[in-house]
Amino acid sequence: MSLIPAHSAPAGRLRACERASPPRELAAGGALPASGDSRPSKAAKGQALRPPLASWQALPAPGILGYMDVGTWKDAVFLERPNRFLAVVEVGGVREEAHVPDPGRLQELLVPGADARLRPAAGKGRRTSWDLIGVACREGWVNIDSRLPNLLFAEAVRAGWLEEFTKVTRIIPEYRHGSSVLDFLLEGEGPPCLVEVKGCTLSVGGLALFPDAPTARGSRHLEELMEARRRGMRACAVFVVKHPGGRAFSANRGTDPLFAATLDRAAGEGVEIIPYLATWRGREMRLETRLPYQA
C-alpha cells in the first residue's frame, strides 16, 4: 500500500524525485476506514502511480488548474491498428510498430494518415520500441496515454490545485472496495472520499462522450461508488477530457446505454460527476477547467 501525503509540494519547481514518485518512495502509514480493503490488485501491485511522464510544476499558471511537462516526442504518421494495443506508424519514411496505451476504440482519431506523436519506450520483453501517445485532430492534439489521467489528477490533488479536493491530507491509490479496485481513496477533513478517474478522448460537436466502447468494468465501478455513498463516504467519478474540442461532458448513450443509465443513477444517489478538460499545448499537458456535465 502506498500513501501519498497531500499538499507536500514545495514552492518552485519540484525536484525529480518529488514529481510523481513510484510507490516505494512515498511515505506509508495510517489506518484505513473499515469500509474497504487497502490491498491493491495483483496487476497493480508495485505499479500504482509509476510515472511514464515527467516534470511537474509546483504552481499552475493563472486560469489553469494544473499542468505537467510530457517531455519530447517523435513525429510520425499513423497507418493502421492491427489490434487493440498495436499500431503501425511511419517514422522518417520507415514503417514501425508502436504500442497503443489506450484500450478504447479511438476510431475517430486513429485514421490512416493522421499525424501522430511517439515516445521512445524500452523494456525487457517489449515487442515495440515506441508508445503511441498522441494523435492530431481538427482542434489540436489528443493524448491517448491512458496512464496520464490518474497521474494528472493525483498530482493536482496533492498540490492543492483542485477546489473540489482542497482538504485532502492523504491519497491512497489502487484502493479495493467491494469486488473492485478503485483509483483513489482520499482522506482528510470530512468523510473518506472514493474516486474513480476515467480518461475521455471522444468529442462530437463539442460534447465530450465516455465511453467510446461498451465498458462493463466502468459500470461496475459506478456501482461501487454508489455503495460507498450509501456507507456514508464521499464518492466521485472524475472524467479527464483529453480532447481539446470538449466543451461539455455526457455519457455516450448510443455506445453504452448501460453505463449511461448507471451514471444517471449514480448522480441521483449523490455520486459527484466531475469532468475536467485537459489539453496538450506544446510540451505541457494542462488541466484547464471543469466542464459542465449534461445528464
79: CATH: 2.40.50.580
What is the C-alpha to C-alpha distance for residues 267 and 204, in angstroms, rounded to an integer? 23
Q: Rounded to whole angstroms, how far apart are CA atoms 67 and 58?
A: 9
Q: What is the mean pLDDT of residues 13-25?
A: 27
Residues 226 and 275 in one domain: yes
pLDDT at res. 125: 80
Confidence of residue 283 (pLDDT cuts 50, 70, 90): confident
Tens of pLDDT, residues 134-146: 999 999 999 999 9
pLDDT of residue 65: 61
Helices (H) and strands (E) in the chain, counts: 3, 18
Least confident of 113-127, 131-145, 269-283: 113-127
Quote the CA–CA distance of 180 and 15 in Å, as a whole number.
Answer: 34
* Band (67; pLDDT cuts 50, 70, 90): low
Residue 105 structural domain: 74-141
Q: What angle do CA 174, 278, 53 make, to 5 degrees?
A: 60
Task: Assess whether 104 and 232 both reside in one domain.
Answer: no
- For strand 234-241 and strand 272-281, is the pairing parallel, antiparallel, or unpaired? parallel
CATH number for the domain spanning 17: value is: 3.40.1350.60
pLDDT digits (tens, 9 = 90+) for 146-190: 989 999 999 889 888 899 998 899 999 999 998 889 999 999 999
Each residue of 94-104: pLDDT tens digit? 999 999 999 99
Ranking 42-51, 65-74, 201-210, 278-287 by mean pLDDT, the lowest is 42-51
> In the chain, how many domains are there?
2
Under the banding of pLDDT at 50, 70 and 90, the label for residue 43 is very low
Instruction: Give the pLDDT confidence of 71-85 residue by residue, as tens digits.
Output: 789 999 999 999 999
Same structural domain, 160 and 60? yes
Residue 99 sits in the same domain as residue 184 = no
Average pLDDT over residues 56-63: 42
- What does the block give as the cell for 3? 500513501
High-pLDDT (> 70) share of the chain, %: 77
Q: Find the distance separating the first CA and the last CA of the chain, reported in whole Å.
A: 35
